[in-house]
Amino acid sequence: MIPRRLQLPKVPAPALRVILLLTLLIVIGSRSCSKLQGIRNGYKDVLSVEAGKEDASEKATSSGIMKQGEVFQSWSVLILAGIIAISVSTKIHRTPAVSWIYLLLGPAATFLVFSLNTGWVLTKRHTYLAAKNNFSNLDDLISLLALQWDLFFYAVVCVSLFASWFLFLIVLGKIEPFEQPRGA
Instruction: List pLDDT tens digits, range 13-41.
Output: 778 888 888 999 999 999 999 999 999 98
What tens digit of pLDDT does each residue of 156-177 get?
A: 999 999 889 888 887 888 776 6
Q: Which candidate, 65, 44, 30, places its Cα nearest to that of 144?
A: 65
- 180 domain-assigned: no
Give 86: exposed, middle or buried? Use CB within 10 Å, 0-12, 13-18, 19+: middle
Tell me if 17 is assigned to some domain.
Answer: no
Name the residue range of residue 126's domain: 58-173
pLDDT at 97: 61
Domain contains 39: no
46 found inside a domain:
no
What pLDDT sits at residue 67? 95
In a domain, 168, yes or no: yes
Confirm whether 8 is domain-assigned: no
pLDDT digit string, tens, across residues 37-53: 999 988 888 888 888 88
Q: Give the CA count within 13 Å in the CB-facing half-sphere of 126.
A: 24
**Calpha distance 150→160 (Å, rounded):** 15
Q: Confidence class of residue 114 from pLDDT cuts 50, 70 and 90?
A: very high
User: For residue 45, what pLDDT is reported?
Assistant: 82
The C-alpha atoms of residue 155 and residue 80 are separated, in whole angstroms, by 9
Q: Residue 182: pLDDT above 80? A: no
- The domain tally of the chain equals 1
Give yes or no for residue 8 having a pLDDT over 70. no
pLDDT at residue 134, rounded to an integer: 86
- pLDDT category of residue 94 using cuts at 50, 70 and 90: low
101 assigned to some structural domain? yes
Quote the pTM value. Answer: 0.81
